[in-house]
Amino acid sequence: MRNSKVLISQALNTICGNLKRTGDPLGLKKAYWTHWADGLGLATQGSTLLYTARMYQMLPYVVQTTEMAAAAQPLVPMLSVKVVAKMAEFAGAVAADPIIRIGARRETEIRQRSESALKGIVAALKRAGNRPAYLFEKEPYSGVLLYDLGMEEEVAPIAREVVRTLKSVGSQTVLTVDPHTTFMLRQIYPRYVSGTNLNVRHYLEVLAGEKTIFPETRPAGVPEKIVLHDSCVMTRDLGVVEQARTVLERMGVEVIEPENNGINTACCGGPVEYAYADLSRSISCIRARELAGVCSDVLVACPICLINLMKHEKDLGIRVWDMGEILHRCFASPAA
Does the residue 68 lie in any domain? Answer: no
How confident is the model at residue 3, as a pLDDT? Answer: 43
How confident is the model at residue 107, as a pLDDT? Answer: 72
pTM for this entry: 0.87
* Residue 318 domain boundaries: 225-332
Q: Are 103 and 29 in contact (CB under 8 A)?
A: no
Determine the Cα–Cα distance for residues 58 and 177; give it in Å rounded to an integer.
13
Does the residue 65 lie in any domain? Answer: no
Determine the Cα–Cα distance for residues 326 and 336; give it in Å rounded to an integer.
12
Does the residue 291 lie in any domain? Answer: yes
Q: Are 165 and 140 in contact (CB under 8 A)?
A: yes
Does the residue 190 lie in any domain? Answer: no
Determine the Cα–Cα distance for residues 54 and 73; give it in Å rounded to an integer.
27
Does the residue 184 lie in any domain? Answer: no
Does the residue 246 lie in any domain? Answer: yes
Does the residue 47 lie in any domain? Answer: no
Per run of 10 residues, the mean pLDDT along the chain (length 336 residues) is 52 79 87 96 95 95 63 44 43 49 64 96 96 97 89 91 94 96 96 88 97 91 97 97 97 97 95 74 96 98 96 97 97 62
Question: What is the distance between the terminal CA atoms of the chain, rounded to a whole angstrom?
Answer: 54
Determine the Cα–Cα distance for residues 214 and 131; give it in Å rounded to an integer.
17
Domain count, the chain: 1
With a CB cutoff of 8 Å and minimum separation 6, the contacts of 290 are: 258, 259, 260, 266
Does the residue 58 lie in any domain? Answer: no
Q: Residue 128: what are its φ and ψ, rounded to 5°? A: -85, 5
Instruction: Identify the CATH number of the domain in which residue 290 sits.
Output: 3.40.50.1860
How confident is the model at residue 27, as a pLDDT? Answer: 86
How confident is the model at residue 269, as a pLDDT? Answer: 92
Determine the Cα–Cα distance for residues 85 and 315; give it in Å rounded to an integer.
35
Q: In 3D, which of 218, 219, 183, 213 has the Cα closest to residue 201?
A: 183
Residue 108 neighbours by CB distance under 10 Å? 10
Measured over the CA atoms of residue 73, residue 78, residue 84 and residue 87, the dihedral's sign is negative
